[in-house]
Homo-oligomer: A and B are copies of this chain.
Amino acid sequence: MTTTKHWTLKSIANELGVSNATVSNAFNRPDQLSEKRRNDILAACTKLGYFGPNKAAQSLRKGKFDTVALVLSDSVEYMVSDPVASKFMKGVASVLEQEKLNLLLFSGSSDSVNAVADFVDGFICYGRPRNALLAEQLKQVKKKVVTVDFDIHRNASVSIDNKLAAYEVAKLALQSPADNVAILGLRLLDTHLTCRVYDLDLLEIDMSIAHQRLQGYLQAIEETGVTLGNDRIWNIPESNAEYARIAAKEALNSTPRPNVFLCMSDLIALSVLGEAQAMGLSVPEDVRVVGFDGIDEATRSTPPLTTVYQYSEQKGRKAAQMFVSDAVHAEVLGYELRLGKSC
């Protein structure tokens, strides 16, 4: 017969005429038996087609799963094609692979983390999940959690100083009190709509990165002596070329036309660049634009974008390392102002 028998620890031990504890030890605790005996057993198992203790049973017993769930802020489908998220995932994957930990991708729009909490060792959570409920659950979950770019006040976290970075890049774009500023925000509102944000005061000031960046922009605006109209802030629900183009068009066609665009992602900034040029405007003469993130494409655009470069891959590595080492502190990573020609 060619189909191999379905072996279990017990049946294989039986077959070999040894106790199941001995087989278990052969696989997990080399110090518990002689090397020769161990090798004999291992060899016999390979020959018979037993590849070691069943992982599911082992995990149930030990409460250890060798798997970490990467909770994305949005659907897996969307995140996997986002350049910033991809770099982050790359960083995470590189250290998990090295640590022989499995990587489970988990959508931030899922109903509940409880669906996976029972078979992972913990969570790395990239950005506040679209489904706010998940963040609540993560606060309670009895597993390791590392959050990135947001905080649930109970855990390890990694982020950058978004406010300062936003302030600095805005200062580069703003030049005179006469400047007319538009802010293209990313996820300022908990909605799927691209729309203007009229009432700044009504904005719930959470500590999402969008609000931190907004604070930075506002500080730069104030310092420059610029007046920000109450219809000069847009909300874009995802860092996505289509949504961004809608907002970019609307902003460019608003009166008076803004000459400075503070954009919360490079994808948004690139849309403004494209739309402005399509309208016959020159950058930076007519319109100055700054982005955020530092994606590759922003260095290749005409003109290259002035932006905040984040070390996304390093961020991913750091998050994974903190997970592995049971860190509990908040880590603040650096960033870099990238001077392009867009302002």
Contact = CB atoms under 8 A, between A and B. Distances in A.
Interface of A: 4, 6, 51-52, 54-57, 59-60, 65-67, 75-77, 80-81, 86-87, 89-90, 93-94, 96-97, 100, 102-107, 112, 114-119, 140, 142
A341 B165 CA distance: 42
A10 to B, nearest CB: 15
18 contacts: A55-B115, A56-B60, A56-B118, A57-B118, A66-B115, A76-B89, A76-B93, A76-B103, A77-B93, A77-B94, A80-B90, A81-B86, A81-B87, A81-B90, A102-B104, A102-B115, A104-B104, A104-B105
Nearest to A105: B103
A11 to B, nearest CB: 15
Closest 8 CB pairs of A and B: A55-B118, A76-B93, A51-B114, A77-B94, A77-B93, A56-B119, A103-B105, A56-B118
A80 to B, nearest CB: 5
Contact of A80 (B89, B102, B112, B114): B89
Contacts of A118: 54-57
A116 B66 CA distance: 10
Given A56-B118, A114-B51, A86 B80 contact: yes
Given A55-B119, A76-B89, A76-B93, 16 more contacts: A55-B117, A55-B118, A56-B59, A57-B118, A67-B104, A75-B97, A76-B96, A76-B97, A77-B90, A80-B90, A81-B86, A81-B87, A97-B107, A100-B115, A102-B106, A119-B119
A262 B124 CA distance: 43
Contact of A52 (B54, B103, B114, B119): B114
A56 B143 CA distance: 14
Contacts of A76: 89-90, 93, 96-97, 103
A70 to B, nearest CB: 9
A92 B83 CA distance: 18
Contacts of A65: 56
Contacts of A59: 56, 119
Nearest to A109: B97
A282 to B, nearest CB: 21
A97 B142 CA distance: 25
A308 to B, nearest CB: 21
A275 to B, nearest CB: 17
A80 B57 CA distance: 31
B80 A80 contact: yes
Contacts of A140: 4
Contacts of A67: 104
Nearest to A59: B56
Residue from A56, A57, A59, A94 whose CB has the most chain B CB atoms within 10 Å: A56
Given A59-B119, A81-B86, A90-B77, A104 B103 contact: yes
A96 B80 CA distance: 14
A107 B81 CA distance: 19
Contacts of A6: 142
